[in-house]
Amino acid sequence: MELTHLDDKGKAIMVDIGEKSTTERVAVATALVRMKPETLTLILDDKIKKGDVFASARIAGIMAAKRTPDLIPMCHPIPITSAAVDLVAVQPDAVLITATVKTTYSTGVEMEALTAASTAALTIYDMCKAVDRAMTVEKVQLIRKSGGKSGDFKREGIVEDHA
Protein backbone atom coordinates (compact mmCIF):
# COMPACT_ATOMS: atom_id res chain seq x y z
CA MET A 1 0.00 0.00 0.00
CA GLU A 2 1.36 3.39 -0.99
CA LEU A 3 1.14 6.29 1.48
CA THR A 4 -0.12 9.31 -0.43
CA HIS A 5 1.20 11.94 1.99
CA LEU A 6 4.88 11.00 1.46
CA ASP A 7 7.12 11.80 -1.48
CA ASP A 8 9.64 9.34 -2.95
CA LYS A 9 12.15 10.34 -0.25
CA GLY A 10 9.70 9.78 2.62
CA LYS A 11 9.07 13.48 3.27
CA ALA A 12 5.58 14.68 4.17
CA ILE A 13 3.64 16.32 1.33
CA MET A 14 0.15 17.61 0.73
CA VAL A 15 -1.57 15.48 -1.90
CA ASP A 16 -2.26 17.22 -5.21
CA ILE A 17 -6.02 16.94 -5.72
CA GLY A 18 -6.08 19.14 -8.83
CA GLU A 19 -6.75 16.24 -11.19
CA LYS A 20 -9.39 14.52 -9.03
CA SER A 21 -13.01 14.79 -10.10
CA THR A 22 -15.55 16.70 -8.09
CA THR A 23 -18.18 14.38 -6.62
CA GLU A 24 -20.57 14.36 -3.71
CA ARG A 25 -18.77 12.94 -0.69
CA VAL A 26 -20.17 12.00 2.70
CA ALA A 27 -18.43 10.73 5.82
CA VAL A 28 -19.94 9.55 9.11
CA ALA A 29 -17.86 9.10 12.25
CA THR A 30 -18.72 8.25 15.83
CA ALA A 31 -17.27 8.60 19.30
CA LEU A 32 -18.48 7.24 22.61
CA VAL A 33 -18.06 9.04 25.94
CA ARG A 34 -18.33 6.74 28.95
CA MET A 35 -19.10 8.22 32.36
CA LYS A 36 -20.63 7.48 35.72
CA PRO A 37 -24.38 6.86 35.47
CA GLU A 38 -24.87 9.85 37.81
CA THR A 39 -23.06 12.09 35.32
CA LEU A 40 -25.34 11.03 32.49
CA THR A 41 -28.34 11.76 34.70
CA LEU A 42 -27.01 15.26 35.42
CA ILE A 43 -26.56 15.88 31.68
CA LEU A 44 -30.05 14.66 30.83
CA ASP A 45 -31.59 16.67 33.68
CA ASP A 46 -29.72 19.79 32.48
CA LYS A 47 -27.93 20.13 35.82
CA ILE A 48 -24.35 20.60 34.61
CA LYS A 49 -23.29 24.07 35.81
CA LYS A 50 -21.52 24.97 32.55
CA GLY A 51 -24.80 24.72 30.62
CA ASP A 52 -26.50 22.55 28.01
CA VAL A 53 -23.95 19.81 27.36
CA PHE A 54 -25.52 18.38 24.21
CA ALA A 55 -26.03 21.82 22.60
CA SER A 56 -22.46 22.87 23.37
CA ALA A 57 -21.00 19.59 22.09
CA ARG A 58 -23.07 19.81 18.90
CA ILE A 59 -21.87 23.34 18.16
CA ALA A 60 -18.25 22.46 19.02
CA GLY A 61 -18.35 19.47 16.68
CA ILE A 62 -19.72 21.49 13.78
CA MET A 63 -17.15 24.24 14.35
CA ALA A 64 -14.37 21.63 14.49
CA ALA A 65 -15.43 20.10 11.16
CA LYS A 66 -15.06 23.52 9.57
CA ARG A 67 -11.62 24.07 11.14
CA THR A 68 -10.07 20.64 10.47
CA PRO A 69 -7.36 21.92 8.09
CA ASP A 70 -6.15 24.19 10.90
CA LEU A 71 -5.62 21.14 13.11
CA ILE A 72 -4.54 18.32 10.77
CA PRO A 73 -1.43 19.41 8.83
CA MET A 74 -2.08 17.75 5.45
CA CYS A 75 -5.83 18.35 5.20
CA HIS A 76 -7.09 20.53 2.38
CA PRO A 77 -9.54 23.34 3.16
CA ILE A 78 -12.82 21.87 1.96
CA PRO A 79 -16.09 23.67 1.17
CA ILE A 80 -18.34 21.74 3.54
CA THR A 81 -21.94 21.74 2.37
CA SER A 82 -23.32 20.18 5.54
CA ALA A 83 -22.13 19.19 9.01
CA ALA A 84 -24.37 17.60 11.62
CA VAL A 85 -23.57 16.24 15.07
CA ASP A 86 -26.12 14.05 16.83
CA LEU A 87 -25.85 12.99 20.47
CA VAL A 88 -27.75 10.13 22.06
CA ALA A 89 -27.72 8.97 25.67
CA VAL A 90 -26.83 5.28 25.88
CA GLN A 91 -28.10 4.11 29.26
CA PRO A 92 -26.77 3.73 31.81
CA ASP A 93 -23.41 5.41 31.30
CA ALA A 94 -22.53 6.78 27.87
CA VAL A 95 -23.20 9.31 25.14
CA LEU A 96 -22.91 8.24 21.51
CA ILE A 97 -21.87 11.00 19.13
CA THR A 98 -22.47 10.70 15.39
CA ALA A 99 -20.98 13.30 13.06
CA THR A 100 -22.01 13.50 9.41
CA VAL A 101 -20.14 15.78 7.02
CA LYS A 102 -20.91 16.38 3.34
CA THR A 103 -19.23 18.17 0.45
CA THR A 104 -19.20 18.28 -3.31
CA TYR A 105 -15.49 18.51 -3.94
CA SER A 106 -12.40 16.70 -5.16
CA THR A 107 -11.38 15.17 -1.83
CA GLY A 108 -13.22 13.48 1.01
CA VAL A 109 -14.44 14.62 4.41
CA GLU A 110 -13.41 11.68 6.59
CA MET A 111 -11.06 13.80 8.70
CA GLU A 112 -13.72 16.46 9.15
CA ALA A 113 -16.22 13.89 10.44
CA LEU A 114 -13.64 12.31 12.77
CA THR A 115 -12.59 15.74 14.05
CA ALA A 116 -16.22 16.72 14.66
CA ALA A 117 -16.96 13.54 16.64
CA SER A 118 -13.73 13.84 18.65
CA THR A 119 -14.25 17.50 19.48
CA ALA A 120 -17.85 16.94 20.53
CA ALA A 121 -16.62 14.17 22.85
CA LEU A 122 -13.91 16.38 24.32
CA THR A 123 -16.48 19.12 24.88
CA ILE A 124 -18.62 16.72 26.90
CA TYR A 125 -15.53 15.85 28.95
CA ASP A 126 -14.69 19.52 29.50
CA MET A 127 -18.21 20.44 30.57
CA CYS A 128 -18.56 17.50 32.97
CA LYS A 129 -15.04 17.04 34.35
CA ALA A 130 -15.91 18.85 37.59
CA VAL A 131 -18.24 15.97 38.50
CA ASP A 132 -16.51 13.06 36.72
CA ARG A 133 -12.81 13.12 35.82
CA ALA A 134 -12.89 9.36 35.11
CA MET A 135 -14.86 9.79 31.86
CA THR A 136 -13.32 8.16 28.79
CA VAL A 137 -13.55 8.93 25.10
CA GLU A 138 -13.76 5.65 23.18
CA LYS A 139 -14.31 4.20 19.72
CA VAL A 140 -13.57 7.27 17.65
CA GLN A 141 -14.08 5.70 14.24
CA LEU A 142 -15.15 6.18 10.67
CA ILE A 143 -18.48 4.41 10.19
CA ARG A 144 -18.93 5.00 6.49
CA LYS A 145 -17.89 7.17 3.62
CA SER A 146 -19.09 7.55 0.06
CA GLY A 147 -17.88 9.25 -3.08
CA GLY A 148 -14.51 9.68 -4.66
CA LYS A 149 -12.04 7.45 -6.47
CA SER A 150 -11.56 4.99 -3.60
CA GLY A 151 -15.29 4.23 -3.53
CA ASP A 152 -17.54 3.52 -0.61
CA PHE A 153 -16.60 2.20 2.82
CA LYS A 154 -18.90 0.83 5.51
CA ARG A 155 -17.66 -0.53 8.82
CA GLU A 156 -18.79 -4.11 9.40
CA GLY A 157 -20.98 -4.98 12.38
CA ILE A 158 -21.45 -1.43 13.50
CA VAL A 159 -24.92 -1.92 15.00
CA GLU A 160 -23.58 -4.40 17.58
CA ASP A 161 -20.44 -2.32 18.12
CA HIS A 162 -21.95 0.96 19.42
CA ALA A 163 -21.85 0.51 23.16
Burial (CB count <10 Å: 0-12, 13-18, 19+), residue 162? middle
Per residue of the chain (163 residues), give pLDDT as tens.
566 666 677 787 777 777 777 889 999 999 999 999 999 999 999 999 999 999 999 999 999 999 999 999 889 999 999 999 999 999 999 999 999 999 999 888 999 999 999 999 999 999 999 999 999 999 999 999 999 888 899 998 775 344 4
CA distance 16 to 133: 43
| Catalytic positions | 126
pLDDT of residue 14: 75
Distance CA 1, CA 131 (A): 45
Q: Residues of 113-145 as b/e, b for ≥16 C-beta within 10 angstroms?
A: bbbbbbbbbbbbbebbeebbeebebebbebbbb
pTM score: 0.90
Structural domains of the chain in order of their starting residue, each with its CATH number: 23-150 (3.30.70.640)
